[in-house]
Each structure stands twice: as structure tokens, then as C-alpha cells.
Structure 1
């Protein structure tokens, strides 16, 4: 079972994503409200997959992506974005993100992206 870290400043999004993932056989081992927490939890727990919202307080998802990839270049990270942030998502993919999911997401989209890992 793949272990997942979800980072999003919106509790509703964390709950929604966790529900979808757990229904489909993934284990959510931690949640973070900002990029700084995501980095700390990644280093501590070494999850198999990380989801990072792009827009978060304290440290953005893009900043966290770069830090995590510096720590572990093999980290599997999926960016989550609202509509209109596609150029930032492209930057994230160039920086090492595995892929991206656009909010609001559909369950089948989540499973399709995660099953490629």
C-alpha cells in the first residue's frame, strides 16, 4: 500500500483527497497545511507520494517541491492546482513534479495519476 502525504491549506481539500485515496487502496500517513510542514513531514516520514497544493501560506507548493527534490531527488510529487495556474504547474513539472491535478478534481483523475506511480 502506497503511503501518501497531502499538503493543502484548505482542510476541505485535504479531507476530500484523503477520502478518495483511502477508498482506492492508498494510505494517507500525514497531512500538512503549508509547504514548510510538508518538507518537515517528508523528511520525518518518507512517504511514497506527496501532493502539494501550489498556493499555500508560509511556503508555496513550488518552493516545497524544490526543497523536497533537493533532499530526495527520487521523491514522487504531484502538484494540485486551481484553474488558471497552468503556467505555474508547468514550472513545477520542470522542477521535478511527476504531474499535476487541476481543482476541482474528479476521483477518476486522481486514481489515473496515482496509478501511474
Structure 2
């Protein structure tokens, strides 16, 4: 069973995503409320996949992605963005994100993105 780290500054979004991924058969090993926490929890838990919100306080998702990839080039990070953040999504993909999902979350799209990201 794949282990996931969910990163989002909104507790409601973490809860929503956690329910969707656990319903799909994945295990959530940790949750982070900002990029800095995500980097620390990544090192601690070494999850198979990280879902990463882009816009967060402390450290945004792009910076956290760069730090995680610098420490573990094989890390799989799936970016989550609201509509209208396409330029940041392109930046994230160029910096090593495996894919992105748009909020509000669509359960079939989440499952598809998780399967695709984990099969790489």
C-alpha cells in the first residue's frame, strides 16, 4: 500500500483529500500545514507520494518541492492548485512535480493522478 504525505494549509482540504485517498486504498502517513513542515515530514516518513498545495504560508509548495527534490531526486510530488495558478503549475512541473490536480478536488481525477504518479 502506497504511503502519502498530504500538504495543505487548509485543514478542511487535508481532511477532504485524506478521505478520498484512503477510500482509494492509500495510507496517509502524515499531514503538513505548510511547506516547511512538509519538508520535515518527508524526511521523517519517506512517503511514496506527496500532495503539495502551491499557496501556503511559511514556505510555499514550489519552494518545498525544490527542497524535497534536492534531498531526494526520486521523490514524487503531486501539486494541488486552485484555478488561475497555471503559471505556478508549469513552474512546479519544470522543477520536478509529477503532475497536478486542480481544486476543488474531483475524486476520479485524484485516483487517476495518484495511480499515474505512483506508476512512474
The two structures have a TM-score, normalised by structure 1, of 0.99
| Partner residue, 2:27 | 27
SS at match of 1:78: strand
The Cα of 1:105 is off from its aligned counterpart by 1.4
Equivalent-residue separation in structure 2 for 1:73 and 1:115 (angstroms): 20
Unaligned regions of 5+ residues in structure 1, if any? Answer: none
| Partner residue, 2:5 | 5
SS at match of 1:42: helix
Aligned CA RMSD, in angstroms, stands at 0.4
SS at match of 1:80: strand
SS at match of 1:29: strand
Unaligned regions of 5+ residues in structure 2, if any? Answer: none
The yes-or-no answer on 1:61 pairing with 2:46 is no
SS at match of 2:97: coil
| Partner residue, 2:96 | 96
